[in-house]
Structure 1
């Protein structure tokens, strides 16, 4: 077994992989008879109620975040280290869904993802992006102030317009600018200014001021502090560490489509126009600012639909952590104050964002990729046991999960570590969608795309102790881990009411799985944290005759032991018969893959289940290589 206690950044030829994989959605589903749903008011004689006590042992360091800025391990109201009942519920519920051929429809957001193709990128969906956003053109921004023989040129998107987004009466609108352009033509209504021009003119100004005390600098807005230019004002090519994206009211002058002056609004220059300067996130090569002319509220605004609003918000939430301190720049405004925005209307659809190179919506929503059997609203085991709420109908859970509380104290947190907790995103279509070589690359723009399945993290032999390569100089994408050590034990309880025998067997199987099974929980699962073994310590059912029908003294222990193995076998036989399975349920391909990923005796080598380095990922995208299947990874080195 390969030791994976350290994480070294290295590029491996033709590596394609991830610390997660996917369990395919079930092509058939067990339909739970709705008439068999019991009432919650009473404990029924022919059903089973009781409790299960389980033990979770950390087989690697484990971290469950308390949600505070300090990021300590979660503690309950008594100050004891604990794993919240909600986290335990989520883990076991997913196991139930997989093991019972239940639907995942309620767990998948139904919105259109967004994507963007960066200039010069070799993204597979470049043509799809261009089809929406249009072609770019190379425009001149005038002569280089430091070399009159050179012309400054940049690429701009011809169809994209600038405007202002406002929130009014709970809805978002885009107002146009005071610059009149033909919306049907490819006319820009905003201006582009290069930092080369600003810094070059600033150097000339510095030379001039030594000769003339009254020399003026036309772009003095940008040098009043150190945060408005991506380059240091003294030198093109030297990154300004103080820079952050911004937009600011300014006055400006234009001559022949070229910005000749940008100053503070209060300076009231003659012939100056009002507007807003916009400078987006740091980019290594393209360093320009945009001048958006003043808002014109006399023109009819464009209404942003609720559907587009919700999709934009969902996309922002997915990216928020990586945006860090810059997130407010890319968020929708929270009040009626106008905020500069870029937009394009194509084929009756509106796309908008806070840089000209917009993130655009895919044609189809995530849920469109679910198999039809997953979307038919059928009642299944997971809904019947854990409860559901849909439209006007709801049913309460028959299960209750306590916090899993630490067994022994004192246990101390290990030394804090800063790591990059990269979260897998559904926009990675080579991972999240089924790919077929003969069909070319499948994205969310393909009408027949199919989701890969339920994401599950691989078990790791160890949590990484040497975090060289996990850290990053970019503070905005770092997270803090204050883990508890290997060997930490938690005790939790699941109480159940009015379960059928198959339901109880399913629940017990979901908690225990198989002999060699382990699971993972908490943060940093991708780096080996949170691998746990789970043992059922006690499983008891209420004996109703002892509880309610005894004529003697009150029985303080009205429970009978449950034969865990027998009840699990009963469930397996039940589901094989009901779903018409030809083999043992463990041999079913999707159950087999799930149990392979949970088998601690078959943990893949660390190098086969790590995140890809950027260079590896770029090569992968060029070749359009799909994620290897579970059994391919497990059997790779055996």
Structure 2
């Protein structure tokens, strides 16, 4: 679906569609606890790790990474990654990049997508989530939030989180208390709590009249207008329209009244309360069993929240509710990390703490979700990976290209009617890529780097229509957009976001920005990828994943949305080792590039040929691989708002505008086609190897790379 008239969302990323079906390359053989793989239906061609086969390929690929925009690979301590004092790109970083590309090229099943259930809150939304949320928690017109939502006391015991249920009064575990009522009980509030728990001032700052008198007067006027509207005959459309406009105006006055009297001193809190058909006492802490909790969380989205909540005393006769670890992980993923501002009050307790908590139960009376507000987040029906529609075969323990080459853990399959799982070590290993040409470092900058927002279903899911009330979510039938990539940029943004926002007032803390000390453009890294017992088509895939075609660029490291980390991979050499003589030769590095062009072309063709036997054409000018080629060729203008993060208050965000699908970019004329021959970029790679010997490097290239065999960290 693509509508040229629609105002699409903006983002520095997009998605390469997943394949329709998986292409399989091997099957699993398990004998006496040892896992081997073999070509499909041919156990004679088994591949194991304890012997080298003459007909398979063993050796290494030597490659170079040229830095085209400043690059930062962090070490977790805000410094560029180093090993033994030397700047390197970790082998694990290269491995992840190459495997990801290999998955796309070979139609492998997309691995490493977190199969978690996301949570959502739709109470105050104006999109599809509102109806979903209301249907779940407020199924009837007269439903109250405390009809379905329970309350209790969250504790931790021996690494398990449990909820002690609160007593139920009239089938409810907590009471809802409007702030106007709490204000009337102010003399019962002890320990100076009154200065922090109220959300609004006592008197209106504009009229100096009691706030809640004005509030209820406006509410009454709104109620009277509703009565008039309901009493009017249907044909009185003009009068109804006037009354509806008048009601909207009053609602605006209510919002403005609350907004201008909102107190900055309000702090999310919980304290002890004695409640028996009314508030008897409010104090900071009480250990008496008859006391419950008075509490309130933050104002959701700075809204016009007016209620506080009283959780009844704990029920000593009720059985504690143990929270499943999966639910705890989902909470950490979907809730707690987004509530940094109040994390000091409302986080998971340690073993000496007790926290007020709200929760809902599933059909088995187990905790399905919990939170620190009655309008808590609830889980979607389905997990993220249920949105992958790539067809898999499950009748045999089959392996795709990526699993066969890079290995796997905890692979589940059936054998003789029994569930089994196994692991297999990969047949490739990655040395750290060491710096061989250094152009120094750029000045340190701070950038605001976003985390993936999988809850932005309008961006991450295929959306057949644009109506925000009918968008696909992680309920029902949905499909993920594909494998995420960041657009290449024509330049980088070297501005310091922390310093810039500090000059504009109300600065955010420096820790909310990432510090990037980047290696400059023109620097180069070289590394090796070791392979053993690869079929020729597998080696072809590996080479294509390193350098798919001429002028292909890629992104590495942090700061990709701002144009950092644009690099170019080039293959410098392929050394194939005779398995019989590998332990007899002192030096296997021949540096012979005379036949590199023919080697790469030949191995590419072997891979393409095998894919053709599976009815898949490796064509960068068509289908999903056209999207891939665009992602590696087209450099977008850094200033183009279509390829930037949207501001939170942007209408595109609040309206849940969808992301423009890749099919649109794949059909635009301005995107050049993949037309150049493989020979062109292979010749270029060979020339780079020859030129590297003469480059004025900070480190002598030959000596430096040779040392990689002994000192390089293998990943």
The TM tier, using the shorter chain, reads 0.7 to 0.9
Partner of 1:345: 361
Partner of 1:497: 532
**Which of 460, 463, 473 is equivalent to 1:432?**
460
Shift of 1:514: 1.4
Partner of 2:285: 265
**Which of 412, 426, 431 is equivalent to 1:402?**
431
Shift of 1:195: 8.5
Shift of 1:301: 2.6
Partner of 1:385: 405
Q: 1:61 to 1:555 in 2, by over 3 A?
A: closer
Partner of 2:71: 62
| Structure 1 CA distance for aligned equivalents of residues 437 and 263 of structure 2 | 51
Shift of 1:161: 2.5
For the 8 Å contact 1:342–1:356, the answer to whether it is kept is yes
Partner of 1:212: none
Where do residues 444-483 of structure 1 align in structure 2 (5 Å cutoff)?
444-446=474-476, 448-466=477-495, 473-475=507-509, 477-483=512-518
Partner of 2:523: 488
| Structure 2 CA distance for aligned equivalents of residues 575 and 498 of structure 1 | 17
**Which 10-residue stretch deviates more, 569-578 or 423-432?**
569-578
Q: 1:170 to 1:615 in 2, by over 3 A?
A: closer
Q: How many residues align?
A: 569
Shift of 1:502: 0.9
Provide, for residues 260-291 of structure 1, a one-character-per-residue CA deviation record: whole Å limited to 9, x for no partner. Answer: 642233699xxx95233433235423265433
**Which of 614, 625, 643 is equivalent to 1:579?**
614
**Which of 366, 369, 375 is equivalent to 2:387?**
369
Structure 2 residue 316 is the aligned partner of structure 1 residue 308: no
Shift of 1:102: 0.4
Partner of 1:279: 296
Provide, for residues 438-488 of structure 1, a one-character-per-residue CA deviation record: whole Å limited to 9, x for no partner. Answer: 994211111x22222111111111221235699584437433333333223
For the 8 Å contact 1:195–1:229, the answer to whether it is kept is no
**Which of 26, 30, 33 is equivalent to 1:33?**
26
| Structure 2 CA distance for aligned equivalents of residues 97 and 201 of structure 1 | 64
Partner of 2:238: none
Shift of 1:330: 4.7
**Which of 150, 157, 163 is equivalent to 2:152?**
163
| Structure 2 CA distance for aligned equivalents of residues 428 and 606 of structure 1 | 22
For the 8 Å contact 2:445–2:497, the answer to whether it is kept is no
| Structure 2 CA distance for aligned equivalents of residues 54 and 614 of structure 1 | 41
Shift of 1:628: 1.0
Partner of 1:557: 588
What is the DSSP-based 3-state SS (H/G/I as helix, E as strand, rest coil) of the residue aligned with 2:188? coil
Shift of 1:122: 0.6
| Structure 2 CA distance for aligned equivalents of residues 255 and 300 of structure 1 | 24
Shift of 1:347: 4.6
Where do residues 40-55 of structure 1 align in structure 2 (5 Å cutoff)?
40-55=49-64
| Structure 2 CA distance for aligned equivalents of residues 438 and 474 of structure 1 | 34
Provide, for residues 116-158 of structure 1, a one-character-per-residue CA deviation record: whole Å limited to 9, x for no partner. Answer: 1142x2132211111112169999xxxxxxxxxxxxxxx9655
**Which of 85, 90, 95 is equivalent to 2:96?**
90
What is the DSSP-based 3-state SS (H/G/I as helix, E as strand, rest coil) of the residue aligned with 1:111? coil
Shift of 1:585: 2.2
For the 8 Å contact 2:626–2:666, the answer to whether it is kept is no
Partner of 1:207: none
For the 8 Å contact 1:166–1:335, the answer to whether it is kept is yes
Q: 1:160 to 1:497 in 2, by over 3 A?
A: same
Partner of 1:24: 17
Q: 1:480 to 1:262 in 2, by over 3 A?
A: farther
Shift of 1:520: 0.6
Structure 1 alignment gaps of length 5 or more = 1-11, 140-154, 203-216
Partner of 1:146: none
| Structure 2 CA distance for aligned equivalents of residues 445 and 422 of structure 1 | 25
Structure 2 residue 410 is the aligned partner of structure 1 residue 360: no
| Structure 2 CA distance for aligned equivalents of residues 453 and 266 of structure 1 | 53
For the 8 Å contact 1:546–1:555, the answer to whether it is kept is no
RMSD over equivalenced CA pairs, Å? 3.7
Structure 2 residue 141 is the aligned partner of structure 1 residue 112: no
Q: 1:415 to 1:621 in 2, by over 3 A?
A: closer
| Structure 1 CA distance for aligned equivalents of residues 274 and 580 of structure 2 | 90
What is the DSSP-based 3-state SS (H/G/I as helix, E as strand, rest coil) of the residue aligned with 2:349? coil
Structure 2 alignment gaps of length 5 or more = 28-37, 40-45, 206-257, 413-420, 671-715
Partner of 1:192: 177
Q: 1:468 to 1:195 in 2, by over 3 A?
A: farther
For the 8 Å contact 2:620–2:628, the answer to whether it is kept is no
For the 8 Å contact 2:448–2:497, the answer to whether it is kept is no
Partner of 1:333: 349
Shift of 1:18: 1.3
Structure 2 residue 188 is the aligned partner of structure 1 residue 218: yes
For the 8 Å contact 1:133–1:344, the answer to whether it is kept is no
TM-score, length basis structure 1: 0.79
Shift of 1:501: 1.0
For the 8 Å contact 2:356–2:372, the answer to whether it is kept is yes
| Structure 2 CA distance for aligned equivalents of residues 573 and 637 of structure 1 | 27
Partner of 1:132: 136
